[in-house]
Chain A
Amino acid sequence: EAQVTQNPRYLITVTGKKLTVTCSQNMNHEYMSWYRQDPGLGLRQIYYSMNVEVTDKGDVPEGYKVSRKEKRNFPLILESPSPNQTSLYFCASTPTGGTYEQYFGPGTRLTVT
């Protein structure tokens, strides 16, 4: 089944404790992206990647890191999480060269206390 998976789905952590949210897709898509969703705000792009070893900042990259060592994986790293990073996070992937229709993962609900 074609899908985007994210882990963990829910996470409660404390300020300053490094964490990684994994994202994996099995559709051989070149483009992958991370978003955060906060009440009253639209989905905001954190980072995106056009292909392996190519990453770019989105609108809200501060406090986040990403890597794209393999085509299928695009982990989101919070080196020192803070309460303002409490949010719902979505990973998405899309094939390039076509319509760029995005396929979203199930979301990760992160709470930083």
Chain B
Amino acid sequence: ILNVEQSPQSLHVQEGDSTNFTCSFPSSNFYALHWYRWETAKSPEALFVMTLNGDEKKKGRISATLNTKEGYSYLYIKGSQPEDSATYLCAIRGFGNQFYFGTGTSLTVIP
């Protein structure tokens, strides 16, 4: 079992603020790290998949980095908008092709 931790558990920011949150994991023995966005009453949707140390991915105002040596990934949102309000999930795909999810960071962007 891979223990994936996310922090903070929840976050409230003002519209226009930039923010970031963390996914921590104990080992670099995995295939990939995934970020998902989960809006209330919907299904999780894939944001990024990262595999290599130093990987950086970007989609619009959202970006992510991966540091496998120190065991963390950051998700950044630049200029938060109310539509960014969601829970952001981090998951590790282990060598057995099993997925291990963190508990998520709930982001609320206040207009």
Which residues of B are at the interface with A, using a C-beta cutoff of 8 A? 1, 4, 31-32, 34, 36, 42-46, 49, 51, 89, 91, 93, 96-104
Contacts and interface: CB of A to CB of B under 8 A. Distances in A.
Contacts of A111: none
Given A42-B89, A59-B1, A33 B43 contact: no
Main secondary structure of the interface of A (DSSP, over half): loop
Contact count band on A: 20 to 34
Contact of A56 (B1, B36, B44, B96): B96
B93 A45 contact: no
B1 A48 contact: no
Contacts of B104: 42
Question: Quick one: which of A44, A104, A106 has the most chain B CB within 10 A?
Answer: A104
30 contacts: A31-B97, A40-B103, A41-B103, A42-B4, A42-B89, A42-B100, A42-B101, A42-B103, A45-B99, A45-B101, A48-B97, A48-B99, A50-B97, A56-B98, A58-B98, A58-B99, A59-B100, A90-B44, A99-B32, A100-B32, A100-B34, A100-B93, A101-B34, A101-B46, A101-B49, A102-B34, A102-B44, A103-B46, A105-B43, A107-B43
B7 to A, nearest CB: 13
Contacts of A31: 97
